[in-house]
Amino acid sequence: MTDASPLAAPATSPVLGSDWKRLAIPLILFAGLAVMPLFFPGDRYTLSLITRAMIFGIAALSLDLILGYGALVSFGHAAFLGLGGYAAAILMFHGTNEALIAVPVAIAVGALFALVTGAISLKTRGVYFIMITLAFGQMAFFTATSLSAYGGDDGLRMAQRNVVAGARILQNDTSFYFVVLGLLAACYLVLRTLVGSRFGRVLRGAKENERRMRALGFDPFRYRLAAYVISGAVCALAGALFANLGLFVAPAYMTWPRSGELIAMVVLGGTGSLHGAIIGAVGIILVEEWLAELTQHWKVIFGPLVVLVAIFARGGIIRLIDRGSR
C-alpha cells in the first residue's frame, strides 16, 4: 500500500500534526480563551457571551466531524442541540439536578437519536441527505412544541444550574466558563485524535472515493454511522451546557435556521480543521453581538460579510490564516 493511501499512517501524532501551525493555532486559540476572564473581571455579560461562543464551538466541532471529514451536510443538526438541552431541563423538572446524571443522559439521548435517524438518513446522498436530516430536525422541533407538560412552544425554564457531585461550582459564572472551556478542549482533543486515527482515514477515504474503500474491504456506511452518532452525542453535550447557561430551553433551539447557523460556523471557520470550526463559532457569535449593538438591522450587514468571506477566503478563516503566515 502506497503512502498516498487514505489508510497510510500519519508521519506524526494525529494531535500534533506535521506542521507547526497545526499546533500553534489551536494553542493560541485555547490560551486566548483561558486568559479572557482576566481582561473582563466582574463583567458577567462579556463572560456569558464568550461562554456561549465556546458552547457553539462544541456544536460546530461536532458538525465538522461529519461535514468536513465525511462530506455529510446535515440540515437538522440543531435537533441534537435541543435534545441535549431538553434532557437536562426535563431531568431538573423532575427533581434530578446532578450534572453527573444529566450530562451523560443528554449525551445518550443525542447518540440514540443520531443512531436511529442516521441509520435511515445515511442510505441517501447529496441533496436527499440534506432533506431527510431537515425532516428529522423538524420532527424533533414539532415534537418539542407538542410537549405541553414541559412548556410546549414557550419552552422550559430551569430553576438553577446543575450541581456537580453535590457541589454548586457551575453557579459561579467564572467556574462555569472554565468548565465549558475544559469540555471544549477535551472534545477537540478527542475528535482530533479520532480523525487522525484509522477511523478518520477511512472516513476521509470514503469521502474521496467510496468505491475504492469498499474494494479495500471497508464498509463506509458503518464508519459514517459511527461518526454521525459521535457527532450527535457531542452536539447534545453542547445543548446541555447551553441550557445551563441560559437556564432555559425551547423548541426554537431545534429550528433549521439554527442548523444553518452551525453550518455557516463550520464553513466560514474552515471545514476539516476542527479548530477552524471553533474560530468560526466564536467569530460569528461575537460579530453578531457587535453588529446587533450597532443597529437593529444588523442582519443586512452580516449577510454580505458572510458572502465576502465565502468569496475571498476560500477554505474559510483558517485557510486565510495559513496563507497569511507563509
Mean pLDDT on 109-121:
96
* Angle, CA of 318, 321 and 324, to the nearest 5°: 150
Q: How far apart are CA 133 and CA 77, in angstroms?
A: 8
pLDDT of residue 4: 47
**Which CB contacts under 8 angstroms, 24+ apart, belong to 23-32?**
25/275, 25/318, 25/321, 26/188, 26/275, 29/275, 29/278, 29/279, 30/181, 30/184, 30/185, 30/188
Give the side-chain half-sphere CA count within 13 A for 313. 21
Joined grid coordinates for residue 257: 435556521
- Which helix (H) or strand (E) element contains residue 157? strand 156-157
pLDDT of residue 325: 55
Joined grid coordinates for residue 304: 454580505
Backbone angles phi, psi at 105, to 5 degrees: -65, -45
What would the pLDDT profile of 197-213 be if each residue is shown by its tens digit?
999 999 999 988 888 88
CB 44 within 8 A of CB 246: no
The mean predicted confidence, pLDDT, of the chain is 88
What would the pLDDT profile of 67-86 be if each residue is shown by its tens digit?
999 999 999 999 999 999 99
C-alpha closest to that of 264 among 301, 307, 230, 234: 307
More confident residue, 6 or 277: 277
Would you list the DSSP string of 257-325?
HHHHHHHHHHHHH-TT-SHHHHHHHHHHHHHHHHHHHH-TTHHHHHHHHHHHHHHHSTT-HHHHHHHHT
Specify the length of the chain in residues: 326
Q: What is the pTM of this model?
A: 0.90
Q: Which of 176-190, 284-298, 304-318 has the lowest mean pLDDT?
A: 304-318
- Which helix (H) or strand (E) element contains residue 248? strand 248-249
Is a pLDDT exceeding 50 seen at residue 173? yes
Q: How far is CA 94 from CA 89, 91, 147, 159, in A?
A: 9, 5, 15, 11
Burial of 18: CB neighbours in 10 Å, binned 0-12, 13-18, 19+: exposed
pLDDT tier at 324 (50, 70, 90 boundaries)? Answer: low
CB 192 within 8 A of CB 74: no
Q: How far is CA 115 from the centre of its chain?
A: 17
Q: What percent of the chain has pLDDT over 70?
A: 90
Q: How far apart are CA 54 and CA 291, in angstroms?
A: 19
Burial of 237: CB neighbours in 10 Å, binned 0-12, 13-18, 19+: buried
CB 257 within 8 A of CB 299: no
pLDDT of residue 11: 42
What would the pLDDT profile of 86-98 be if each residue is shown by its tens digit?
999 999 999 999 9
Give the side-chain half-sphere CA count within 13 A for 253. 28
C-alpha closest to that of 283 among 294, 270, 296: 270
pLDDT of residue 301: 82
Joined grid coordinates for residue 225: 454511522
